[in-house]
């Protein structure tokens, strides 16, 4: 069984590390949050004192970090993990970052004789806890074959999108659509409620009609409509609005670089930028409903 170093134990990374432990993997973990480290330690993992300490004797390193600068900082340079890991080690970055940084880091791994996959995830915090995440993987097919047992301990679906950086491009496309769908769902529900409809009834109608989508069926943004969603616990936990804004920004940058049109993605980014600037950045991204309807 692989010895795994897990770096980054936030709302997604923490449950993923616990699932690895539950499947019998040995996990040494590191995070700047003592509380996050304690949760993994309570599940049987080793709380490391640093990322380098976590990677000591690891054959697989998994990272789940906020942005590309954090991923590059973790792995590259004289003090990065690539300078410490033994040849042949497998690195799996599950962060959602720009494809250019993913390719740069993968090239750095190759230069050190290491294998590297970019493997961002979809499925939210519920999927992370349940071990049903979708992994969207970029990198060599043989490296994915090596990684598959590890990924299967944390997820249900594994897609090979292509070479280095392809996983990030596919994830950015998915999250751009997610942001658009959530904003549109919130706007539709607010319109119905403004005109006297029950949000639960309207959500049920939409979920059985042509407007059905993931937000209405599994992640409703209206409080009280669906149990066990961030909307029904004050938008705590889940996928923070500031992270959705980051991903929509990545989509816009990708569109500009490739001369692709993204008018709806740009509009969703503008909505989330205003939402975050109004102090909602730490709330789940479904809280965008507040932009269309006062919930106070």
Paired tokens of 11 = 């709302």
Residues making up the chain, counted from first to last:
296
Catalytic: 171?
A: yes
CA distance 281 to 267: 17
CA distance 98 to 83: 23
Distance of CA 197 to the CA centre of its chain: 34
Where do the H-state alpha helices sit in 112-159?
Answer: 124-130, 141-152
By DSSP bridging, strand 121-122 and strand 133-138 are antiparallel
Residue of 171, 194, 282, 290 with catalytic role: 171
φ, ψ at 6 (rounded to 5°): -120, 120
- List the catalytic residues: 171
């Amino acid at each position: 069984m692989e010895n795994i170093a897990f770096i980054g134990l936030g709302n997604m990374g923490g449950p993923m590390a616990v699932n690895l432990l539950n499947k019998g993997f040995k996990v040494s973990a590191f995070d700047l949050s003592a509380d996050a480290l304690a949760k993994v330690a309570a599940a049987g993992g080793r709380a490391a004192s640093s990322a380098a300490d976590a990677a000591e004797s690891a054959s697989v390193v998994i990272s789940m970090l906020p942005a590309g600068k954090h991923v590059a900082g973790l792995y590259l340079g004289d003090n990065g993990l690539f300078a410490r890991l033994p040849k042949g080690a497998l690195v799996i970055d599950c962060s959602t970052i720009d494809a250019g940084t993913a390719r740069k880091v993968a090239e750095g791994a190759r230069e050190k004789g290491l294998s590297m996959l970019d493997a961002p995830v979809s499925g939210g915090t519920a999927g992370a806890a349940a071990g049903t995440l979708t992994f969207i993987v970029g990198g060599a097919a043989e490296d994915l074959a090596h990684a598959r047992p590890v990924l299967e301990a944390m997820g249900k679906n594994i897609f090979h999108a292509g070479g280095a950086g392809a996983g990030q491009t596919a994830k950015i496309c998915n999250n751009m659509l997610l942001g658009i769908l959530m904003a549109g769902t919130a706007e539709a529900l607010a319109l119905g409620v403004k005109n006297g409809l029950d949000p639960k009834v309207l959500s049920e109608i939409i979920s059985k009609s042509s407007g059905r989508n993931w937000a209405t069926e599994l992640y409703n943004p209206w409080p009280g409509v669906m149990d066990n969603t961030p909307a029904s616990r004050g938008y705590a936990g889940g996928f923070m609005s500031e992270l959705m804004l980051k991903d929509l920004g990545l989509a816009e940058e990708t569109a500009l670089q490739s001369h692709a049109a993204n008018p709806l993605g740009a509009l969703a980014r503008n909505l989330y930028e205003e939402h975050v600037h109004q102090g909602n950045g730490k709330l789940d991204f479904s809280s965008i409903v507040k932009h269309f309807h006062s919930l106070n």
